[in-house]
Amino acid sequence: MAILRPVFYLALLALIIAAPFIFPDFRTQLATLWVFIILSMTWDMTGGQMGYNSLGNILFFGAGMYIAAVVTIALAYDVGEYTNAFGGGTYKFTTTQYFLGMGLGLVFAGLLSAAIAWLMGYLLFQFRGPYFAIGTLGAAIAAGELVSNWEWVGGGQGIALPVYPGDFDVGKLFFYYLFAATGVILFIFLRWLYGTRFAGAINAIRDDEEKAEAMGLHTLRYKQVTWAISAFFVGIVGGISGFQNIHFEPLETAFQTINLGIFMVVCVLLGGKGTLWGPIIGAILFHVIKEVTWNYLLGWQWVALGALIVITVVYFQDGLMGWLARVKPEWFGERVQKKPDLIAEPAE
Amino acid sequence: MKIIEVHDVSKSYGGVKANTDISIDVEKGGITGLIGPNGSGKTTLFNSIVGYHPIDKGSIRFEGNEISKLPVQQIARLGLLRTFQQTRIYGDMNCVQNMLISLPHRKMTLREALTTNTRADHERAEHLLDFVGLYEKRYLRSGSLSFGQQKLLEFAMALMNEPTVLLLDEPTAGINPTLINGLIERLKRANSEFGITLFIIEHNMRVIMNMADRIYCLAHGELLAAGTPEQIQGDQRVVDAYLGAH
Amino acid sequence: MDQIISNIGLLFEFPVVNLKILIDGIMIGALFALAAYGLALVWGVMNVKNLAQGDFVIAGGYVAWSLTNIGIHPFLGIPAAFIVMWGIGWITYKLVIKRVIERDLFTSLLATFGLAIMFAQIMNLMFGSDTQSIDLGYDTLHFGPGGFVDVPISKLIGVIVALSLAFGVIIFMKRSRMGQAIRATAQDARAARVLGIDTDKVYAFTFSLNSAICGAAGAIIVMAWVIQPFYGITYSIRAFVIVTAAGLGNLPGVIAAGLGIGAMEQYGAHIFGIGYQQAIAVLLLLIVLFFRLLQQRRKRQVLQ
């Protein structure tokens, strides 16, 4: 068994690297799949591992998108003038400006999103239950509205970023690998994080916050840190998506509360909350179902999505992993184990 | 040295006076008992000390500092820990996980929290589970344990947390009578070996008389008597209170 | 920024503007209060936090609007919306809500959020995404200096109908056997069950009643204001703001908070501009939550 694990991960890594060449026609869909996977994994940090179900994580996606874009533009031009001349004017970006802007933009997107999460968390995490979910949902909706009224960043029209400097197909590969790298780093990070004492603490908050408080955990601080880490990755993904989309606008692309904002929750529920692999499996499952059925639903997609949420929540809330844990508890380490004779000693 | 000083504390719910002008001291390093018939206000006093509700008047000091206005988690972080009458454990996790979560986070920086549990942590968790007799069941979902075993687990978790003072709310209630002697033994050892000050609400007179250095007796929300186990046992008012006479 | 300052200045320069804003706010606030009362009812009785609340309101509006289109008088649209939404509420209860009552709160929240998406999208497919309203063709009353304060008669009628509906519901809850059963279930469902109350029936009734109240509110809104398939979520958030501010089972509080929120939103719209409607509703939610937090902290409690 021990030898199988590295083999499995190496094979997986090879598949991730080879995927855009195995399915050359689906490069954009594969990139989108990574967005789903990353958003699901980050949502699960608070929703699954900590028991705080945010309906507004999309806020960091939109924030990251705008931050990365503004940083890139600001390096070369005046942001207000640039967005004002939307569609017109001649604003050229050199290759250096593009990549430097993107690199710096993504760093800022991650850090500032984390900072926003930290600050919002200070207030929102002092509420339990419905108030947190509704507060986050409200915050995401309000953020979209505020940004679409903010002329400096292009108002309701949004922002048009420069196109990838180079071959169009290479650009597709570039964005695929950028998302994939973020996803792999996030996975490795979470694999480590979920083994730390910190993870134990946030699990304790999920299972019984009052007990966790009575045991002296710094509950508020841990909650803020978790959300900030989650927002860091969401912000980066949002930033990359901005460059990938080239043009984005506030309500439909950046702060898409009911599309991507709720997709990530459904993905996690499908796969299984509070597990490392659940969100990933759920995201793949959801994305495939969505890509296959979407076009046949003839305008009823969103109704079907709403129905899918309701059905998942009502009938299949434990998800795939939760179902497995129920039918195969021994796979998850539940067992009676006697004390080995070697270290046995009389109890009294 | 007095580690907890309750001075003149009153607490009422609506019109019902649950605690009236109660003053109690808990000696550092000792075992203090709190007894009284049902409804005499013992748990209310506990809740006032650990911060579950505001008090109407009086002061509560821990190591000399006023704590009567602090919320639960801040008091817990000072090292004042309580167990619940209806046990509270993390039912979906196994016993070892429950123990590891109970590491004293108040003593950790965030950087320390962001490390994996050490071998020593695991050993300590298993040692304490062994100490309360749950070693064999350590990988079982703790929610599947019996009530008495959950109670023992909660006790082990409290020890894992290395508290300065541990407030126990009826530790022997619901525990199989044949296990009670063992539990008394372990409580005493927790006090003597780990140096944890114990403050215990107990219904079972035999248990508390066996353990405590000093006992307070409440009745109808008021302090009825205080003294050594011998004094309390000989106190006619206490006997009357328990028998329901006045 | 200059615009905001001049808008605030206007309030002091022409005090009558305040009166106009207040009257506008109180009128729409009465309808917020109605939807919030329904939410408080469902929340208190069956512990379901209904995020589809606003979509029931909008759906009721579309019922009345459709009837008007086929020539039925708008006033008849109000009872019609009440009845139709009662039915939809009952079906929703049987299919979904019934199965989430005993579950943890996120289940009901997310399930109703799914419902909200479904309702909004179905309405979008059926009626299109344009804003709609019914023109009653009534006059507007003018008073104050220079007739500056205008009160459309349609809004006035709307508020009066809303208040009578609220009054009717209160009488019903106090006097009828069902009302008593609902209140008993809210206090202790298990005890009510032991005493022979069919709590499932009570839940079904409560949820349908809530849906019907929302529907009637929507039918009133469409006569004097406008509706659009995606306006629902803002009404839901407002209902949460009001219930959070007032607490459960506190009807005078719900009405007061409803009127207050209505007035504050109008002030917000005047100062910041009409484009910030949702942001203002959310800001009010955060302010209310913050005050409740301070209040609870004094009691060494958390908000949950």
Q: Is residue A333 part of a domain?
A: no
Using the Cβ of B221 and the Cβ atoms of chain C, whether some distance falls under 8 Å is answered with no
B137: distance to nearest CA of chain A, Å?
Answer: 6
- Name the residue among A203, A218, A225 with its Cβ closest to that of B105: A218
Classify strands B2-13 and B57-62 as parallel, antiparallel or unpaired: antiparallel
Average pLDDT over residues B114-140: 89
Distance CA C258, CA C238 (A): 8
The total number of structural domains in chain C stands at 1
Average pLDDT over residues B194-222: 87
- Residue B114 φ/ψ, nearest 5 degrees: -90, 40
pLDDT of residue A336: 63
Q: What DSSP string runs through A24-41?
A: GGGHHHHHHHHHHHHHHH
Residues A71-120 have pLDDT tens digits of: 999 988 888 888 877 655 678 888 888 999 999 999 999 999 999 999 99
Tell me the chain B residues in contact with residue A198 when contact means C-beta distances shorter than 8 Å. Answer: 110, 113-114
Interface of A with C (CB under 8 A): 53, 55, 123, 126-131, 133-135, 137-139, 141-142, 145-146, 148-149, 258, 262, 265, 269, 299-300, 302-303, 305-310, 313-315, 317
Q: Is residue A262 part of a domain?
A: no
- DSSP 8-state assignment for residue C55: H
Tell me if residue A110 falls in helix, strand or coil.
helix
pLDDT of residue C288: 85
Q: Is residue C304 part of a domain?
A: no
Distance CA C236, CA C233 (A): 5
Residue B27: is it exposed, middle or buried by C-beta count within 10 angstroms (0-12/13-18/19+)?
A: middle
Helices (H), chain B: 42-50, 72-77, 95-101, 110-113, 119-131, 147-160, 177-193, 205-211, 229-233, 236-243
Average pLDDT over residues B58-84: 89
Nearest chain B residue (CA) to A191: B116
Tell me the chain A residues in contact with residue B93 when contact means C-beta distances shorter than 8 Å. Answer: 203, 207
Q: Which of C300, C302, C303, C304 to mutate to test the interface with B (most CBs of B within 10 A)?
A: C300
Chains touching chain C, criterion 3+ CB pairs below 8 Å: A, B
Nearest chain C residue (CA) to B55: C299
Q: Find residues 25-54 of chain B whose CB sits inside 8 Å of chain C.
A: 51-54
B85: distance to nearest CA of chain C, Å?
Answer: 20
Q: How far is CA B234 from CA B24, C29, C33, C174, C302, in A?
A: 20, 68, 64, 57, 44
- DSSP 8-state assignment for residue A50: S
Q: Is residue C303 part of a domain?
A: no
Residue A173: is it exposed, middle or buried by C-beta count within 10 angstroms (0-12/13-18/19+)?
A: middle
Name the residue among A307, A128, A304 with its Cα closest to residue A208. A128
Residue C97 sits in a domain whose CATH number is 1.10.3470
Task: Please indicate whether, in this complex, the C-beta atoms of A339 and B135 are within 8 angstroms of each other.
Answer: yes
Residue B208 pLDDT class (50, 70, 90 cuts) = confident
- The full set of domains in chain B, from first to last, is 1-79+163-246 (3.40.50.300), 86-162 (no CATH)
Q: Is residue C19 part of a domain?
A: yes
- DSSP 8-state assignment for residue B206: H
Q: Is residue C18 pLDDT above 90, yes or no?
A: no
- Rounded to two decimals, the pTM is 0.89
Tell me the chain B residues in contact with residue A212 when contact means C-beta distances shorter than 8 Å. Answer: 101
> Which DSSP helix (H) or strand (E) runs through A139?
helix A130-148
Q: Is residue A327 part of a domain?
A: no
Share of chain A above pLDDT 90, in %: 45
Provide CB contacts within 8 A for A248, sequence distance 6+.
A65, A69, A158, A159, A161, A241, A242, A254
Q: How many CB atoms lie within 10 A of CB C97?
A: 26
Q: What tokens appear for A345 in the block?
A: 């000693």
Share of chain B above pLDDT 90, in %: 20
Tell me which residue has tokens 């006619």: B236
Residues A179-217 have pLDDT tens digits of: 999 999 999 999 999 989 999 999 999 998 989 988 989
Share of chain A above pLDDT 70, in %: 93
Tell me the chain C residues in contact with residue A265 when contact means C-beta distances shorter than 8 Å. Answer: 110
pLDDT of residue C124: 92
Using the Cβ of B141 and the Cβ atoms of chain A, whether some distance falls under 8 Å is answered with yes
Distance CA C267, CA C279 (A): 13
Lowest-pLDDT choice from A28-42, C55-69, C187-201: C187-201
| Residue A227 near residue A125, CB atoms below 8 Å | yes
Using the Cβ of A126 and the Cβ atoms of chain B, whether some distance falls under 8 Å is answered with no
Beta-bridge partners for B25: B5
Residues C249-265 have pLDDT tens digits of: 777 888 889 999 999 98
Average pLDDT over residues B31-37: 89
Task: Please indicate whether, in this complex, the C-beta atoms of B73 and A201 are within 8 angstroms of each other.
Answer: no
Range(s) of the domain holding residue A176 = 31-256
Q: How many CB atoms lie within 10 A of CB C187?
A: 11
Residues C117-155 have pLDDT tens digits of: 999 999 999 998 888 888 877 888 887 777 777 888 888
Nearest chain C residue (CA) to B73: C300
Q: How far is CA A325 from CA A40, A41, A203, in A?
A: 20, 19, 17
Task: Compute the Cα dihedral for C43, C49, C52, C53 and give only its sign.
Answer: positive
Using the Cβ of B115 and the Cβ atoms of chain A, whether some distance falls under 8 Å is answered with yes
Task: Please indicate whether, in this complex, the C-beta atoms of B72 and C300 are within 8 angstroms of each other.
Answer: yes
Residues A223-258 have pLDDT tens digits of: 999 999 999 999 999 999 999 998 898 988 889 887
Distance CA B53, CA B69 (A): 9
Task: Please indicate whether, in this complex, the C-beta atoms of A214 and B81 are within 8 angstroms of each other.
Answer: yes
Using the Cβ of B71 and the Cβ atoms of chain C, whether some distance falls under 8 Å is answered with yes
pLDDT of residue A346: 41
Question: What's at A216, amino acid-wise?
Answer: G
pLDDT of residue A193: 94
User: Chain centroid to CA B6: how far?
Assistant: 16
C303: distance to nearest CA of chain A, Å?
Answer: 5
Range(s) of the domain holding residue C76 = 2-298
Size of interface A-B (CB pairs under 8 A): 110
Helices (H), A156-246: 168-193, 197-207, 209-214, 219-245
Nearest chain A residue (CA) to C303: A127
pLDDT of residue B243: 67
Distance CA C3, CA A154 (A): 19
Share of chain B above pLDDT 70, in %: 98
CA angle A213, A194, A220 (to 5 degrees): 30
Average pLDDT over residues C98-115: 86
Tell me the chain A residues in contact with residue B135 when contact means C-beta distances shorter than 8 Å. Answer: 339
Task: Please indicate whether, in this complex, the C-beta atoms of B71 and C300 are within 8 angstroms of each other.
Answer: yes
Q: Which of A194, A210, A215 to mutate to test the interface with B (most CBs of B within 10 A)?
A: A215
Using the Cβ of C299 and the Cβ atoms of chain A, whether some distance falls under 8 Å is answered with no
pLDDT of residue B244: 61
Beta-bridge partners for B199: B32, B167
Residue A338 pLDDT class (50, 70, 90 cuts) = low
Distance CA C246, CA C253 (A): 5
The count of residues in chain C is 304
Q: Is residue A70 pLDDT above 90, yes or no?
A: yes
Using the Cβ of C123 and the Cβ atoms of chain A, whether some distance falls under 8 Å is answered with no
Classify strands B80-82 and B165-169 as parallel, antiparallel or unpaired: parallel
Q: Is residue A165 part of a domain?
A: yes
B6: distance to nearest CA of chain A, Å?
Answer: 20
Largest CA distance in chain B: 59
| Residue B59 near residue B8, CB atoms below 8 Å | yes
Average pLDDT over residues B56-63: 90
Residues B153-187 have pLDDT tens digits of: 999 999 999 899 999 988 888 778 888 888 888 88
Using the Cβ of A344 and the Cβ atoms of chain B, whether some distance falls under 8 Å is answered with no
| Residue A189 near residue A236, CB atoms below 8 Å | no
Q: Is residue C126 part of a domain?
A: yes
Residue C147: is it exposed, middle or buried by C-beta count within 10 angstroms (0-12/13-18/19+)?
A: exposed
Q: Is residue A1 pLDDT above 70, yes or no?
A: no
Q: What is the ipTM of this complex?
A: 0.87
| Residue A133 near residue A43, CB atoms below 8 Å | no
Q: Is residue A240 part of a domain?
A: yes
| Residue A282 near residue A324, CB atoms below 8 Å | no
Size of interface A-C (CB pairs under 8 A): 125
Q: Is residue A345 pLDDT above 60, yes or no?
A: no
The total number of structural domains in chain A stands at 1
